[in-house]
Structure 1
């Protein structure tokens, strides 16, 4: 059976469907203030990426700060300041720079996430109408 995907507009919804849409959006949507709070406090760990469910980049950001910091701590513990120390220090600085550049795209990422969630809820409503 071939399903034709038609876009369902919010204007076409009944009051019950609008209530369902609003309830589901309140459950699933991401808040910009929460994302900015996470970015402000934990940007170098990639917490804002995990919040927006972008787990690949969140994990990459987490590892790109954790591995160099761990290496720096080990090198300092051994009283070894050599070329490796400066390389890991540079990698840490690059990771912090990445998180600051990432801030410019945070609002867009939240808007895109919320639009995707809304569209998936509208698709669910359309499927229940057709069932």
Structure 2
């Protein structure tokens, strides 16, 4: 996540972001363990919220292993992308709360 997107946040809002990220972010270790033990069943993709491709992996047994092998090289970027998406969602919620407070204070 770019620092530019966080620079207008107060220390309380940054603390809220950090707290929510600690609760919601996806663990690299957990993802790799799921890949290792459920690779052909798409368990790691279910965990990362990629339900559509996870179901496809489940039905094709990981593309007969090919897709599972490819994920070996893509997994770290998938984890990073998922965590960035989660952080962006939290930032959006924080900004909505901030704007709601401004609007209620203005009225």
For Structure 1 versus Structure 2, the TM-score category normalised by the shorter chain is 0.7 to 0.9
What corresponds to 1:96 in structure 2?
Answer: 65
2:67 maps to 1:110: no
Structure 1: 5+ residue stretches without partners:
1-7, 66-91
Q: How many pairs does the alignment contain?
A: 97
C-alpha separation in 1, matches of 2:39 and 2:31: 10
**TM-score, L = length of structure 2:** 0.83
2:5 maps to 1:9: yes
**TM-score, L = length of structure 1:** 0.69
What corresponds to 1:19 in structure 2?
Answer: 15
Q: Highest Rg: 1 or 2?
A: 1
Structure 2: 5+ residue stretches without partners:
101-107
